[in-house]
Amino acid sequence: MNEFLPVSKADMQQRGWDGYDFLVITGDAYVDHPSFGPAIISRVLEAEGYRVAILAQPDWRRAEAFTALGRPRLGVLISGGNIDSMVAHYTAAKKRRHDDAYSPGNRAGLRPDRATIVYANKVREAFGDIPVVIGGLEASLRRFAHYDYWEDKVRRSILFDSQADLLVYGMGETATREIAGRLASGTPVGEITDVRGTCFAAKDPSLCAYPKVECPSYEQVCTDKRAYAKANQIQYEEHDPIRGKAILQRHGDRLLIVNPPAMPLTTQELDFVAELPYVREPHPMYDSMGGVPAIEEVRFSVTHNRGCFGACNFCSLAFHQGRIISSRSHESVIREVTALTKHPGFKGYIHDVGGPTANFRRPACKKQMKAGVCRNRACLAPTPCPNLDADHTDYLMLLRKVRQVPGVKKVFIRSGIRFDFLQKDTNGEFFAELVKYHVSGQLKVAPEHCVNGVLNYMGKPHIEVYERFKQKYERLNQKYGKEQYLVPYLMSSHPGCTMADAVHLAEWLNRTGRQPEQVQDFYPTPGTLSTCMYYTGIDPRTMKPVYVPRDPHEKAMQRALMQWKRPEKRALVREALRVAHREDLIGYGKECLLRPSTGGPARQQGKGKTPPGRKSAGLPQAGHTRQKPVKKAGWAVAKPKKNARPKKKK
């Protein structure tokens, strides 16, 4: 049976250790599973022969808590956890969350805000001059000067606030292994400046070992939003392991030097990492606290790939894992599934064979592995690239093999399916088998919106693509006698979404018979292109202005429009329809969203049709945002033409 890594001095004594090499600190509970970044890094270092100890969710109020396992010989590695600590603590409305699935007993408050910074500063207080390396999603997405939604200001690179020596960004196995080797050989941490996938601070730009480009400084992006947008675009363009350059960004009298990304792991390397001796469970010290809820989603799931060329603008994946796909071998996945069938809690169901996007098994095109990803072209949106290789054969063969493993009853796909990519595959076998074998009652996909102008800002395919997918999905379910549903993920208040667009989304939902139970308000998380739009009001891809719904009340109305049937939302929906000059949707027609208020005249206006005078008044048709917007209590509506009169009916 595999053993957990030491979490106390008693554990080290039991192993016969008189000391250890690396201390790994994490803001999550200690879960020894390959879905948890700190567990992967710890096991990679262990496989290299280093002694590694884990300090999970230490009491950040006391420096003594960080010395509980003694001083490590080589250094301290710090991760805020699987997600950004501010996202873990706050909703999109900046309200404090009451639970935390990555903590024992689902208990909130066991890590600090800005966990990476707090932990790193406490390590300095506890150990003084010791090599400190930060990594994980929180550090990765905050590696440059970045807009912080919770403080509503631009913060400098997390490397400076944390006082760390090095920052590892992206998937850090290769960089961490190289850093560890150099520290073990006696190289001072200040001389480790040429490792791909890392950042460091310097005063001399000649310390950069790669071809380089400089983006606007911290001071510039704090005061000039166009400079911020320009910097953001440079950072995205150069985030490529094949053609990307190092990026320099000045912070006062120092330089942030961000080396090019590490190369994606090969299939053999990814197999090796996936099959390290994980226990695949939370540490038993949490049993009496109710366990760690986050394990339930992944305990019987298998990750077969990394990277995502979907490149949605609001998603951090492209800026963290990158756009080049790497995948595991069939044999490795089958070995993992076979091992899962021997788990005492296994009931025959593999919950997922997926990853960031489940149906990506290879780079988007052959050119990517030689020339890198295209600078100014997305692979899928708004339309697929002609060079796209949309062959699902390899993934289909893998799923067929997993279904044949003894003890496996069902194999589901619960991570995202990119439906536009699926439809580019001219061979319909994968779509057919997806419907026949791999849907657990509901298939969740992410059209996100229905207005093509908004979808362009999101980096998503146009709504017609989703509607064609939906029609074929329904036909296949009917063909195979399945009662399976399609659940669309939708987002309100994304940059570019006016109140007219939000009303159009509600009309589309009404017309298609959908009433989503859960909706997502746009959340400006660090580092994404959409967050850049939110902060600057500029699309960094074009440097053109974009409307941004920032007012909390407007955002509440946009969100309410997606759930207009709920009684508690009616007042907000009514107000939103009036703001958008869409009172035609208050009535008794089948396309109306609300009935008239009690006590007022019962209007049967238009039965859902566009009312007379709407076009002549210059009001925007749904999705139309070309006219100059005028702000009304913080909301975007189109500016009516002067002295406009309704046209007479013929």
Residues facing residue 443 across a β-bridge: 486
Number of domains in the chain: 3
The CATH number covering residue 18 comes to: 3.40.50.280
Is 152 a member of any domain? yes
Is 34 a member of any domain? yes
pLDDT at 607: 43
One domain for residues 433 and 483 = no
Regions of the chain short of the pLDDT cut 50: 599-650
Residue spans of beta strands (DSSP E) within 510-640: 520-521, 538-539, 544-545, 629-632, 635-638
pLDDT at 4: 97
One domain for residues 400 and 501 = no
CB atoms within 10 A of CB 474: 14
* CB contact at 8 A, 40 and 174: no
One domain for residues 25 and 81 = yes
* CB contact at 8 A, 131 and 165: yes
Is 588 a member of any domain? yes
Q: Which residues contact 630 (CB under 8 A, 6 or more apart)?
A: 636, 637, 638, 639
Cβ-in-10-Å burial (0-12, 13-18, 19+) of 111 comes to: buried
Cα dihedral sign for 263, 142, 119, 74?
positive
Exposure string (b/e) for 490-517, b if CB count within 10 Å is 16 or more?
A: bbbbbbbbbbbbbbbbbbbbbeeeeeee
pLDDT at 519: 83
Residues facing residue 405 across a β-bridge: none
One domain for residues 64 and 171 = yes
Q: What does the chain come to in residues?
A: 650
Binding residues are: 308, 312, 315
One domain for residues 144 and 75 = yes
Cβ-in-10-Å burial (0-12, 13-18, 19+) of 265 comes to: buried
The CATH number covering residue 346 comes to: 3.30.750.210
Cα dihedral sign for 330, 336, 339, 343?
negative
544-545/629-632 β-pairing: unpaired
Q: Which domain holds residue 643?
A: 478-650
Of 208, 234, 258, the residue that ends a domain is: 258
For every residue of 272-300, which 3-state class applies, written as one string? Answer: HHHCCCCCCEECHHHHHHCCCCCHHHHCC
Is 396 a member of any domain? yes
One domain for residues 432 and 488 = no
Is 237 a member of any domain? no
Q: What span, in angstroms and rounded, lies between the C-alpha atoms of 426 and 71? A: 59
Is 226 a member of any domain? no
Is 456 a member of any domain? no
One domain for residues 525 and 584 = yes
Question: Dihedral angle at the C-alpha atoms of 432, 434, 435, 439, nearest 10 degrees?
Answer: 180
* Nearest residue to 314 via CA among 539, 506, 501, 486: 539
* Nearest residue to 197 via CA among 183, 217, 215, 179: 179
* CB contact at 8 A, 591 and 574: no
pLDDT at 604: 40
* CB contact at 8 A, 476 and 522: no
pLDDT at 107: 95
Q: What span, in angstroms and rounded, lies between the C-alpha atoms of 364 and 380? A: 9
Is 75 a member of any domain? yes
One domain for residues 306 and 352 = yes
Binding residues for [4Fe-4S] cluster are: 308, 312, 315
One domain for residues 587 and 646 = yes
One domain for residues 406 and 516 = no
Q: What span, in angstroms and rounded, lies between the C-alpha atoms of 402 and 496? A: 43
Q: What is the 8-class DSSP label of residue 96?
A: B
- Indicate the residue type of 641: K
pLDDT at 473: 96
One domain for residues 434 and 512 = no
pLDDT at 606: 41
One domain for residues 627 and 510 = yes
Residues facing residue 213 across a β-bridge: 247
Cβ-in-10-Å burial (0-12, 13-18, 19+) of 266 comes to: exposed
